[in-house]
Amino acid sequence: MYAILDIETTGGKYNEEGITEIAIYKYDGHEVVDQFISLINPEREIQPFVVNLTGINSNMLRNAPKFYEVAKRIVEITTECILVAHNAQFDYRILCTEFRRLGFDYERKSLCTVELAKDLIPGQPSYSLGKLVRSLGIPVTDRHRASGDALATVKLFKMLIDKDTTKSIIQQSIRLNPKHQLEPRHIDIIAKLPAITGVYYIHKSDGEIIYIGKSKNIKKRINQHFTGTNPKSKKIQVLVGTVTYEATGSELVALLKESEEIKRNKPIFNRALRRTTFTHALYSFTDENNYINLKIDVADYRKNPITTFSNRQSGKSFIEKSIDDFKLCQKLTGVYKTKTSCFNYDIKTCEGACIQEELPENYNQRVYALIEKNSYKNKNMVIIDKGREVDEKSAILIENGLFKGLGFFNLNYQINNIEVLESIITPMDNNRDTQHIIQSYLRRKKGFKIVELNTNSTNT
């Protein structure tokens, strides 16, 4: 659990400042579950430059509560939480100073979003909160007021968790948060999980990830792990300390995250999933009569496939459907073995490429159309799919035919700006598995949108 906060102060000499406003959002890694926002009478003068910056003046604070009147609420909302702030060292020092004046030792673990951003989003021109969130397309209101800045920090922290592919933030949080370690009972863990699409992480009590999976219903899938009787399930049941998850909204995002993070984190119970996710592929070659032939074959890493399949039957079903969709020849797709005409020619549904009756250039145009539809080679595009919330979409970025990564954007922001789009994208490895996952998803699913990119714009 995290307490994401922002504090406005009077300014002045070091350790003589007073708090004029505080905002704390209690965040469980997915949503805000509690909040506390209040002006505070600092019982001292506010520096003129601070008044100009924040708009908070002494008249506004005359009837505001003093710090000792809100101290108990601050303690309660931050108990068993890690403090998160933009420049956390400053906010934490100010809080500790105020509590010390009351004779109370206030101690909390903390995370700084400035340091996290420098590590996870390198190369930004500025890491000040205002400039950073603006460059990332994060909407912000009431700048330089505690509530507005704290809420912007919540959104920034959410993006940083998305970009933390090694899950170091989550694993550190579990180690620091004793509450997680006191909840090993399976029924308690399942009760707190949602029935949503996403990636889940099964941890030991020290935070180590021992298994990563994806599901369209995380609660149901974890229940299956905890009730399974196979050797792997029984070992997981003994070792599990807690389960964390990432909502993705999109099944494609979940598949890509699962594949990437298994490779990065190498959980001990994911060994079987480290192998490649496909066995067969679609290849093309031009025969002696200049017709492009298609063939489903065992995947060969030395060749460049048009698209890939989880098994031979999947590839066979694909090619049979493509024969109908693109009016292709059964003989030239390897489906009908013959030295003469194919069966479809005999029933008048093949144009005769099998016996050189149709011109190669005419037949090949339809083959090119199939290849174009099922391969994103050399393409620049963004696949837009479901987001985690109603006002959000996911974005999978393809540049020059290479998978670059994925991210999420608010419907009112970001996608029309290529620079911002690249900033929100979490870089991920382009490999044969990711290519297979994306191509397979595009073949099977509906409801997504493809935005073609050029160097100047991302407009459709």
Q: pLDDT confidence of 458, banded at 50, 70, 90?
A: very low
Q: Is 460 inside any structural domain?
A: no
- Report pLDDT for 457: 43
Alpha helices, DSSP H, located in 79-199: 88-101, 113-120, 129-135, 146-163, 168-176, 178-181, 186-191
- Report pLDDT for 10: 87
Residues 225, 195: one domain? Answer: yes
- Report pLDDT for 248: 92
- The residue that leads in pLDDT, 23 or 184, is 23
Is the CB of residue 96 less than 8 Å from the CB of residue 89? no
Q: Is the pLDDT of residue 459 over 80?
A: no
Q: Is 52 inside any structural domain?
A: yes
As a whole number, the mean pLDDT across the chain is 86
pLDDT digits (tens, 9 = 90+) for 66-106: 999 999 999 999 998 999 999 888 899 989 988 988 988 88
Is the CB of residue 132 less than 8 Å from the CB of residue 124? yes
Q: Is 44 inside any structural domain?
A: yes
**Edge-to-edge strand ranges of the sheet holding 19-27:** 32-39, 19-27, 2-9, 82-85, 110-112
Contact partners, residue 206, CB within 8 Å, separation at least 6: 174, 175, 241
Residues 341, 290: one domain? Answer: yes
End-to-end CA distance of the chain: 40
- Report pLDDT for 84: 92
Residues 34, 150: one domain? Answer: yes
The rounded distance, in Å, linking the Cα atoms of 208 and 47 is 48
Give the CATH number for residue 157: 3.30.420.10
Q: How many domains does the chain have?
A: 4
Which of 163, 182, 210 is where one domain is finished? 163
Q: Is 198 inside any structural domain?
A: yes
- Report pLDDT for 175: 65
Residues 57, 140: one domain? Answer: yes
- Report pLDDT for 145: 86
Q: Is the pLDDT of residue 58 over 60?
A: yes
The rounded distance, in Å, linking the Cα atoms of 239 and 268 is 11
Q: Is 458 inside any structural domain?
A: no
Q: How many residues does the chain have?
A: 460
**DSSP 3-state assignment of 424?**
helix
Residues 218, 315: one domain? Answer: no
Q: Is the pLDDT of residue 33 over 50?
A: yes
- Report pLDDT for 414: 53
Q: pLDDT confidence of 418, banded at 50, 70, 90?
A: low
Residue range of the domain that includes 440:
381-452
- Report pLDDT for 288: 92
> What number is the average pLDDT over the span 426-453?
84
Give the CATH number for residue 263: 3.40.1440.10
119-128, 133-142, 320-329: least confident range: 133-142
pLDDT digits (tens, 9 = 90+) for 211-264: 999 999 999 999 999 888 888 888 888 889 889 999 999 999 999 999 888 888
pLDDT digits (tens, 9 = 90+) for 304-336: 888 888 888 989 999 999 999 999 999 999 988
Residues 82, 121: one domain? Answer: yes
Q: Is 457 inside any structural domain?
A: no
Residues 220, 198: one domain? Answer: yes
Residues 315, 213: one domain? Answer: no
Q: Is 117 inside any structural domain?
A: yes
Residues facing 284 on adjacent strands: 294
Residues 258, 302: one domain? Answer: no
Which of 145, 163, 181 is where one domain is finished? 163
Q: Is the pLDDT of residue 169 over 50?
A: yes
- Return the residue matching tokens 């837009």: 384
Residues 74, 15: one domain? Answer: yes
Q: Is 459 inside any structural domain?
A: no
Q: What is the DSSP letter of 451?
A: E
Residues 143, 78: one domain? Answer: yes
Residues 233, 347: one domain? Answer: no
Which of 321, 345, 374 is where one domain is finished? 374
